[in-house]
Structure 1
């Protein structure tokens, strides 16, 4: 974090390892993970596979690599991936699916990033030689640009069943799947029924410095290992990093609820601010957006004024700002950030 940023709500990737996590990392038992000789990494992979109800898993450097490897395994050049128009895989991964797998996207318009099985089916291509092949449907749990919205388990199960009926693989971008499970009080595996692949991020709300874990069938993970190596994902003595993930799953999982409460606090404090609209109206997890159109001011201008007060929020567009709560921003800090926002947008006097 920059020295002049006291409260950083630009993303939950702003988290840093705690003293307990660092201690776990420095004492980790390690080996060469490419030879399956790193016991800590293998333990993390087994833990996540069990957590997600999958047969196997592989530790990777990032969530984006998880998505891209999943598409590389599921797709062939010229195939098509169906997803929400505001999904991270479509707008925030450098067109990786096109560049790496040779796959294109067919998108579904939805304000909160969630669509049902009927909307998916309507987006399917007719099976013709001149058309792209619909190969994968991808859901994002929770939805980033949907304001942290949660896909209900029954919606995901129905989507996976419909995809299988049409011969498509179903994939979950689970960057914040654990936030969803914590908020709804359900097992993470309740979201993955019928899905061919799913991953969780370690470097967001769980507070790890790096990493994500991709899970699926044993055959899928075997193929994923080839792509991991081809893409330069070999980590060698990765147990130092995997130990952070194991620590986080033991100590930082249940506390995700605090982040959700803090996001709702921020929303309540700024609600009614002249010219500002909060999205979503009911904050479910740790993400919310601020539409500042009515203030007549540019979001970047407001961001600079907030930075002068030691507070950083995300800027999504000239009229839209993003707030993401996390473990390194306790309740008092979130309150201070909201108060700083109000002082910048609607100064007293």
Structure 2
């Protein structure tokens, strides 16, 4: 049975062309700064985001950690969404390793913190309070693209109040593809998004399909500080050009094709919509959330797995499309889900019939 893996866009395997690029990559020792492929990647992504410099990292979690600790010192705080990845899903790294306090705020259904709440959370210069130093946003958030007007207003407020700004851009390429103006191109849109922020973390191992890697982009001074943090965090790599070559290949070949993933997510959402017992929360990019009635989510996950379809169920069922999924796989996932809900609906109907009428 062919597995349709919709757990995440991190599960992709390198394409044959990506593997060839990795094998052909010239290598050095990146801890000494002389891996030419890593250096080429760092220069390329810095240029694409309009920043002075960039630093290749093993993971987005480490990239965000190094960014936050490069901006903030002990006793400082960063303002962040209550459900943002940098606060909720990265092990409390900034607090644990850097004594940097998060100030989490409520988010709406699309991941946005209210501008008034951000303003109210910025502390006065008083020894009673942690020093407010940084505003962290995330784009995309659960598949939702942050609107341009919101990015502009939130970061303008931060600058006005003396805060730096950081973007967790784990899926910022998805955001760029989804929000690019007609004829603009995703990389031009990426630059517009990045221009709002002092630093951003971009991921190569999600939608772009590289096996490993993220990059922190920012000023030369910030990246120098982040390099020191990366060393302390164990992120210094040796012949990392093998991995950087995959990321370079992804930048050349896998950005605009993210539109295919978005189309498949819409195909999935439309196929699941209207099935009794399901509530589909379709997002704008490559992630679809589904709520299942009567607490049947875990049973549906088990049924899908038996059919060769993998998904996750931490915050409702989550399905993520990527370059290793095709239309046939999406249609199979829809059919399996429909089959499960049809059986469940039939059982519910039988249980509600009068006992005398059941034969």
Q: TM-score, normalised by structure 2?
A: 0.90
Among candidates 275, 280, 288, match of residue 278 of structure 1: 280
Map Cα deviations across residues 46-74 of structure 1 (whole Å, 9 max, x no partner): 11011111110010000000110111111
Among candidates 132, 135, 138, match of residue 137 of structure 1: 135
Question: 1:151 aligned to 2:153?
Answer: no
Trace 1:67-106 onto structure 2 (pairs within 5 A): 67-106=64-103
Q: 1:116 to 1:153 in 2, by over 3 A?
A: farther
- Counterpart of 1:26? 23
Aligned 8 A contact 1:271 1:278 in 2 = yes
- Counterpart of 2:156? 161
1:117 Cα deviation (Å)? 3.6
More deviation in 170-179 or 70-79? Answer: 70-79
Give the match's secondary structure for 2:10. helix
Give the match's secondary structure for 2:78. strand
Question: 1:39 aligned to 2:36?
Answer: yes
Partner Cα distance (1:114, 1:331) in 2: 32
Give the match's secondary structure for 1:11. coil
- Counterpart of 1:346? 342
Partner Cα distance (1:314, 1:5) in 2: 18
Question: 1:289 aligned to 2:286?
Answer: no
Aligned length: 337
Partner Cα distance (1:346, 1:208) in 2: 38
Give the match's secondary structure for 2:50. coil
Give the match's secondary structure for 1:279. strand
Trace 1:1-349 onto structure 2 (pairs within 5 A): 6-110=3-107, 111-144=109-142, 148-185=143-180, 186=186, 187-280=189-282, 283-292=283-292, 294=293, 296-317=294-315, 320-347=316-343
Give the match's secondary structure for 2:319. strand
1:116 Cα deviation (Å)? 5.0
Aligned 8 A contact 1:9 1:323 in 2 = yes
1:303 Cα deviation (Å)? 0.9
Aligned 8 A contact 1:30 1:237 in 2 = yes
Map Cα deviations across residues 70-115 of structure 1 (whole Å, 9 max, x no partner): 1111112222211111111111111111111112222221222123
1:127 Cα deviation (Å)? 3.1
Map Cα deviations across residues 257-282 of structure 1 (whole Å, 9 max, x no partner): 000010011000011111211114xx
1:35 Cα deviation (Å)? 1.7
Give the match's secondary structure for 2:313. strand
Aligned 8 A contact 1:157 1:193 in 2 = no
Give the match's secondary structure for 1:137. strand
Aligned 8 A contact 1:29 1:40 in 2 = yes
Structure 2 unaligned segments of length 5 or more: list them. 181-185, 347-359
